[in-house]
Each structure stands twice: as structure tokens, then as C-alpha cells.
Amino acid sequence: MSINSRQGNLSTRQIFSIRKLEKLYFVPPESIYEFFLLKTILGKYGVKVRSTIPTKARDYWKLKLYASVPRNLRNLVSGIIRAFGGKIREEEILVTKNFLEAVRSPRGIGNIPIGVSADGKGLTALDLPSRVVVAGDENMGLSLILVLLYQYLSLGNDACLVLGRDVDAHLGAVSRSAPLLDRSFVGDLAYALAFIHNMAQSRAGIERLLLQRLYGESGEGEEVVLGREAELVENFLNAVSFSEHDPNVVTYDFSHLPETYQVVLAYYLLRVSFPFVFGVSDRFLDFARHSSSPYFVFYSPVVDLDRLYRKAQPDYIVLLTREKASLYIFFEVGEEPHYVELGFQPLWRVLE
């Protein structure tokens, strides 16, 4: 799969040299965030989102939205609008006050700033929780992950730092034990263990053994599971320790464990809270992208955007090198992936 970028293979000069514009009316996505993101992406094509003059009626406003589109970009812009859940339709819509402010706002996506935009006119931000891959330089990647974690926690959210590598930049209390939570999470733990050992058919037996060992459930009336399932669970529990969940613990350091168990526990914590994952192999993404709660921030040393997109299917990739820092925002048009690149100056450098 090849990712198309650079404004649909049109140069900036080609886009802005077009003078013939027409109005493309549309009904917006339901999510304000999706609408902000849509506006940002359309702005990269030189397309402005405008509205008719709103008329106040009770506590709501009526208006029509339209995009000022160069004629030769109409089909492309229509596809982008549909990809974000909008509809190409000329009709009056009712909007709340917050949405009206989103219509009028000239720019802005996301609730967590990561840097100053390349033009120096505003902040570059991303929205959390979402699916994010931080790629490139290891030290810069860890710095960004910690900045994101601090900001996300400061907003009163639940999150944790999962370490698969020994680093000095620990945050808050550190545990080398996995938190033992409600028994309902054991099914996810069993799934990860079975999946990573190519034993999907043995998930139920592995779950019963984990319940017996971790929660003391006798499993009376059930057939005793022996063989490879028992050996797998025994090896896992001999290597991994569990302790009562402590809400004051933010960092879980599993750097002492084999790679396979780091991946399993990172997936387990994905089901518990919003994880920031550093130093764990990208086999974690095989679990996370198929999860019903597929949100995470994950560091990868890989800088190949095509490979990262295929592997993680992220909402954002943040690429950090000594030469540049870029935020890539992904969207699809007709099942074909595209991205917009936003250059920025990392926040921690600006604050130094």
C-alpha cells in the first residue's frame, strides 16, 4: 500500500494559482473534533470552509456550510468530506454555540499541544485519546511521550507509562509488577498469551488456569486443563508478578521481562487505562490495532511511514529527527490512505 501525500500530487503553486472557485455545500461530521480536522486538511489544499450568515433562533442557530473549492478539486474535496462523515448536500442545519465557534475558528485541532507550528503563528496539537505513533530519534521520542503524558494526566485523565526498556526518565511511582484488577480483565490477558504463542484455540483453557492461579477459583465441575496450556501459564506466572492495583502508580517497568511478556502486559494495560508505550516491540501493534479500545501512544524507531501505517493504522504519526519534526495526520479517500504533513518546533525545545 502506498500512501499518497503532498496535497494529492498537486504542488502548492498549482493549487493557489487557480482562481475559479465554486461553492460546495455539505453537512458536517457530527464530531466537532472531526470537523476541526476536516477544516485543517482542506486548508492544506487552499480550500476555505465558510457558512451562510447564521440567524439566532432560541438557543440554536441555523446556517448552511460550504467549501470554496477550485473547480478541478471538487471531486477530491467531496471525497475528503465524505471520508470524515460529512455529506455533500445543500441543506440548512442546526448547530450548537460550540459548533458555531468551531465553524468560525480559523484553525485548530487537538487538545494536547506538542509544539509551535512551522509558520510560528500557532500551536501544533493532537487529540488524545487516539492512536499515535512517535517515530524516529529515541531520546526525542521519549521526551515527547513524557510531555504528552504529563499534559494528559494534568487534565485529570487516567493513563500509564509502560516501559520495555530501562530508562532514567521515570514518572511518579514505579512498579515492576502488573496491577491485578477485576477478574473480567483476565480474558484479555488470556487472549494475548494465546495469540502470541499461536494457541488461539486454547484461550478458554488458559483463562481458566489464570483465574485459578490469580484469584484462587477452584473451577469445580470443570475438566482440568493440562499440557501446553498449563506449561504456558506456569512459565508466565513464574516470570511476571502481580500486585494490587495502586492508582498512584503511573509507570510500569517491565524491562526485566522477555520481549513476549512485555508485549502481553502492554496489551493488558491497554485494556486497563490509556497507555504510553516505550521500548516494547511493535508486536504490540498486532494486538492493539484489533482491540475494541485501540487507543495508545507508541514509540517506534522505524521511520518508514508506509510500514508504520500498515502496522499501526494510526490517527497520527509524529516523526522526530535531528533535522526536523513533523506531525502526519491520516485520512482515507475511497479506501486510499492519504496524509497531511505539518512541520513544528517541539514544545520542550521552545520551553528550554
Q: Per-residue pLDDT averaged across 97-117, rounded?
A: 67
Taking Cα atoms as reference points, which of 315, 342, 296 lies closest to residue 31? 315
Q: Per-residue pLDDT averaged across 320-331, rounded?
A: 88
> Model confidence at 333, in pLDDT bands (50, 70, 90)?
low
pLDDT at residue 221 is higher than 70? no
How many beta carbons lie within 10 A of that of residue 260, not counting itself?
Answer: 16
pLDDT at residue 41 is higher than 90? no
pLDDT of residue 98: 58
Domains of the chain as residue ranges with CATH: 6-104 (3.30.70), 111-181+245-352 (3.40.50.300), 182-242 (no CATH)
Q: Per-residue pLDDT averaged across 214-220, rounded?
A: 70
pLDDT at residue 14 is higher than 60? no
pLDDT at residue 11 is higher than 70? no
CB of 163 closer than 8 Å to CB of 253: yes
Q: In whole angstroms, what is the distance from residue 33 CA to residue 14 CA?
A: 29
HEC string of 226-275 equals CCHHHHHHHHHHHHCCEEECCCCEEEEECCCCCHHHHHHHHHHHHCCCEE
Percent of the chain scoring above 90 in pLDDT = 38
pLDDT of residue 134: 97
pLDDT at residue 235 is higher than 90? yes
Which amino acid would we find at residue 183? R
Q: Phi-psi category of 35—alpha, beta or left, where left has phi over 0 and alpha has psi -120 to 50? A: alpha
pLDDT of residue 48: 84
92 vs 194, which has greater pLDDT? Answer: 194
Q: In whole angstroms, what is the distance from residue 237 CA to residue 349 CA?
A: 43
- SS3 of 158, please? coil
The helix or strand, by DSSP H or E, that contains position 126, with its residue range, turns out to be strand 123-126
pLDDT of residue 292: 63
pLDDT at residue 7 is higher than 80? no
Taking Cα atoms as reference points, which of 351, 348, 352 lies closest to residue 144? 348
For cell 520481549, what's the residue? Answer: 259
- Mean pLDDT is lowest, of 84-98, 179-193, 238-252, for 84-98
pLDDT at residue 60 is higher than 70? no
pLDDT of residue 252: 95
How many beta carbons lie within 10 A of that of residue 225, not counting itself?
Answer: 18
Query: pTM score, two decimals?
Result: 0.72
CB of 338 closer than 8 Å to CB of 328: no
